[in-house]
Chain A
């Protein structure tokens, strides 16, 4: 992919030369740590299922704030035109922005894994569900990021991009509740198949199925390919 590394390095450096990375990562660690501690101390939870639930909500709130600038900020500043006239392929731009964002998400989740060390120290947790949970959280974050990137590529305004991303994530999270409106319909299966919460719940409990992986990878692939096409359409 021509020009991938230059865009990847630029995006990654941008996160760390501005306050973005420091504020986002530290806020995530602080809040996820708080929720983990709260569950351990007041709910007496002995696993991380609640922690993963809380992390997923935090990611749903924070990832759109990261993705909103991916393209909307560049369009506002005029740098997207410059980027697209450099000898860099559209696919490389999309992939580089996505992977640099995932690198940030990786650091966020890595820091939160301190909680696992606490569990190991004070108890004997079953690490299978823990690993499954982190896998599920990472897949969830990948999907959130890909969706956010796609919406940012469609918008010239960061606030609009963030709001639209939140809305879509909420719809996809709760869409399986809509199956109550269509009790005897095939739509129930469709809603359950596309719902984040249904796909993600099995994985965080350590039940890893091919269907779940296909769902998340498929969604990421769809969003990245679509974002590449959106970028390509800007050239017409």
Chain B
């Protein structure tokens, strides 16, 4: 299945295939990303997420296909083509013997940044990721959470156009998680971001688009970002003679007091609203008391439930 291609994409993976021996990991995947998009890359262990990111980062060659950034191909043989890419590998590897500032300075230097640019950028990421207090400490003595933040910092230090993050929030405590999400969202404003993770909640919190990699093929996954886990979306068709009563009584039950009432003629109405799951029975009682309920549709699917629907037994994938 092909993801719909968008024209003038900032970053494109086109027709990429990859085999390891007899095993086909990627089977002609296509993905086009605009600036400001955060694409979540989901998939089971060993499905090829890291391989996809490595090819996208210019670390590995695809067997066929290409990766294009701003119209120019990314090539492992052309180091300059990787200057606009920020990549965070899985496990966030860092040089343990260096202190934080020196390590970031090395990455800045590798991206051919001049002293002033490097200094400004290092100061920015040190503050943004709360690393100022540990900048002179040896990385090997820091916790996993700090190393993860240092990894994120090095990915952003060159102000790349594309961010490729392989499990970037692993090992972060809740406060650090919130900060990292904030930083990724802030950084993504003018960048194309691909974010690989196992954690569905991270996708829901961060991503503007989700794709699922299965048997070498990328599948789009509908993302219902606006629906919190404790809420459901209700749509009913009713026959009601006194709709004004329901107009007064429904908003207090609705999340954010938003109720959409569409007249269908002959005292028939279509009503849509989002309510907390705990309020469902109150709502049904209200409709039963003041109207004749013709149809009722409840949609409470979160991304997790959508995925289960797609990939579970009897699923569409």
Contacts and interface: CB of A to CB of B under 8 A. Distances in A.
Contacts of A14: 95, 97-98
Interface stretch (A81-89, A123-131, A171-179): A81-89
B97 A85 contact: no
A6 B107 CA distance: 8
A79 B59 contact: no
B93 A82 contact: yes
B61 A235 contact: yes
Given A10-B95, A78-B93, A81-B59, A87 B87 contact: no
Contacts of B90: 78
B278 interface: no
Interface in B40-69: 54, 57-61
A86 B107 contact: yes
A3 interface: yes
Contact of B111 (A13, A18, A82, A87): A87
A85 B94 contact: no
A5 interface: yes
A133 to B, nearest CB: 35
A87 B95 contact: no
Contacts of A85: 54, 57-59, 82, 85, 87, 89
B89 A236 contact: no
Interface string A1-20: 01101110110011001100
Say whether chain B's binding surface is mostly helix, strand, loop, or mixed.
loop
Interface in B64-121: 76, 79-83, 85, 87, 89-91, 93-98, 102, 106-107, 109-112
Interface string B107-142: 101111000000000000000000000000000000
A117 interface: no
A13 B107 CA distance: 14
Contacts of B81: 87
Nearest to A235: B76
A86 B58 CA distance: 9
Interface residues of B, number: 31
A41 interface: no
Contacts, number: 77
Given A10-B95, A78-B89, A85-B89, A236 B61 contact: yes
A87 B82 contact: yes
Contacts of B107: 86
Contacts of B60: 235-236
A17 B110 contact: no
Nearest to A80: B93
Interface residues of A, number: 26
Contacts of B109: 5-6, 9
Contacts of B102: 13
A14 B61 CA distance: 30
A162 to B, nearest CB: 19
A3 B89 contact: no
Of the candidates B90, B94, B110, the one having the most CB atoms from chain A within 10 angstroms of its own CB is B110
A7 B110 CA distance: 8
B97 A18 contact: yes
Of the candidates A10, A79, A85, the one having the most CB atoms from chain B within 10 angstroms of its own CB is A85
A76 to B, nearest CB: 10
A92 B82 CA distance: 15
Interface of B: 54, 57-61, 76, 79-83, 85, 87, 89-91, 93-98, 102, 106-107, 109-112, 154
11 contacts: A9-B109, A10-B106, A13-B102, A17-B97, A78-B89, A79-B93, A82-B93, A84-B59, A85-B82, A86-B82, A235-B76
